[in-house]
Amino acid sequence: MIASAAPVAVIFRRSPSRLVQLIRWHLGDDQIEAGQWFKGLIHAARCDLSPSGQYLIYFAAIHRAPYGSWTAISRPPYLTALALWPKGDSRGGGGMFTGEAQVVLDHQPKEMVLAEGFDLPENFRPTSIAAHSGWTPGDLEERKALRDGWQVIAEAGLLYPVPGSRPRPFMPMRQHEKPGEDGLRLRRLRSSFERGHRTEYAVTDRHGRMILTLPNCDWADWQGGDLLYAQGGALYRLRGGSLAQGLAQAEQVHDFNGTQFAPLAPPDWATRW
């Protein structure tokens, strides 16, 4: 995800062994800053960066005491919590920034109590997304998408197979587009499944013709006229002037394959507001 008011992004790198590493990507010079690892699940779709990129809100779960699951705010690329709201389940959780010190949590009002030992600056204003928080799948993700410039262009109920069972209807496939430069648009097709998710990306021209597809792509977004994306455990940048020439022209920013877990203690600045 990319900060709205600063050239910085964060990436959650998942390993096959239920480990997640937080990465900070400095978009101005494509420098990569490796951060802390987490042993458990982080739901990336329920995370968000503050406009400056200084703060990250994330939803994590280990499904054991003392919290089970929780929403926290940290300073990337560290996950050390500055504020933590216990959740206990996966019905909702996470949040989004509506300002540098304003955050909306996908928690029910009764779940808006900070865990013992945590506090917030006086100017920080957390609110609950709605009285039905946690009961409307995709509501938080949709709000974030619309805020970040994605537009809903299609929605239709489709049939998808689940391994070992007959095809059945799932939640609708929802297609979004995000305008780029020179009439180009990044198209995202996201479908919700009973087990997992699938997201596909493509680039279309001003006439709606597909000029580029991104197979097996984990994430994609615009930065100015450049296309940024994650694929096969690596980050790439495809310059705007090279889009028509295809993915062969993409520059690999960093390859994370082979990186192994290593404990990383947070510096002092990452442990305080």
| Residue matched to tokens 């995709």 | 138
Element holding 143 (H helix, E strand) = helix 139-147
Q: How far is CA 161 from the centre of its chain?
A: 26
Which amino acid, residue 179?
P
| pLDDT per residue as tens digits for the range 197-236 | 567 899 999 998 999 999 888 899 999 999 999 999 999 9
pTM for this predicted structure: 0.87
Mean pLDDT of 152-159: 62
Task: Provide the CA 3 distance to its chain's centre, in angstroms.
Answer: 11
Q: Residues 222, 60, 176, CA angle at the centre, nearest 5°? A: 30
- Render pLDDT for 196-207 as a digit per residue (tens, 0 to 9): 456 789 999 999
Distance CA 42, CA 21 (A): 10
pLDDT on residue 122: 92
- Which pair of tokens denotes residue 143? 């709000």
Listed by start position, the domains of the chain span 8-148+215-271
pLDDT digits (tens, 9 = 90+) for 24-72: 999 999 999 999 999 999 999 899 999 999 999 999 999 888 899 999 9
pLDDT at 185: 95
Out of 141-155, 215-229, 248-262, least confident range:
141-155
Q: pLDDT digit string (tens) for 82-138?
A: 999 999 888 889 999 999 999 999 998 889 999 999 999 999 989 998 666 665 556
Mean pLDDT for the stretch of residues 264-270: 96
Task: At 100, give phi and psi (nearest 5°).
Answer: -65, -30
The residues facing 25 across adjacent strands are: 9, 32
